[in-house]
Amino acid sequence: MPDAAHDPETLAFYDREAEVYAARFDARYHDGLDRFIVRLAPGARVLELGSGGGRDAAVMLEAGLDVELTDGSVGLARVAQAKTGRPVRIMLFDQLVADAAYDGVWANASLVHARAEALPDIFGRVFRALKPRGLLYASFKAGEGAGRDSLGRYYNFPTEMGLRAALDAGGPWASVEIETGQGGGYDGVPRTVLHAWCVKG
């Protein structure tokens, strides 16, 4: 399914590796998840872009948020549905069409695989989907431009400046904060990670 926004090799990887990939982390692996949860009211409606194996969604559901799970990988969606007991919509990022429907959008290590040139459009779709003052969290592996890892997965690898430009093109956001940290991944390679926190204006 080649198109301007997605890489078929990357989706095929996650379909093939879904069970093993989803089993590798415990439920509290992501440090920013609690921060995201406490910034939203109980019962807030959250769209998760790239639910993976359902780890983060399970934590958000337990915290009382109303989570809509989505993923582009049929294999991962099947795993996430089994873990959470909730339906998982098969949806590619550029298929998001919603207007002021969500209090928050959680995109943990998922938009990393969107084509770099498609990010402004995707951020625009996320912006429209958020309610006023809605919160977006999205994380990226930093770099100097798109490439593949040793497993053949496509990454956009943005610079901080490039990520800000893509976010600004999708706005206008009331605030954009980008934090830098260190992280790894399924390929075992240490990377600099960009954590974007954005509030809809």
Query: If you count them, how many residues does the chain have?
Result: 201
The model's pTM: 0.94
Cα–chain-centroid distance for residue 1?
Answer: 20
Domains contained in the chain, CATH given: 8-200 (3.40.50.150)
Q: pLDDT tens digit string along 65-74?
A: 999 999 999 9
**55-62 vs 74-84: helix axis angle to the nearest 10?**
30
Q: What is the pLDDT of residue 26?
A: 52
Are 151 and 121 in contact by the 8 Å Cβ rule? The answer is no
Average pLDDT taken over every residue of the chain: 93
Give residue 31's pLDDT: 77
Q: Which residues of 142-154 are buried (b: 16+ CB within 10 A; e: fewer)?
A: bbeeeeebeeebb
Interval 37-91: pLDDT, tens:
999 999 999 999 999 999 999 999 999 999 999 999 999 999 999 999 999 999 9
What CA–CA distance (Å, rounded) separates 149 from 161?
Answer: 22
Token pair belonging to 5: 């926004």
Write the DSSP symbol of residue 78.
Answer: H
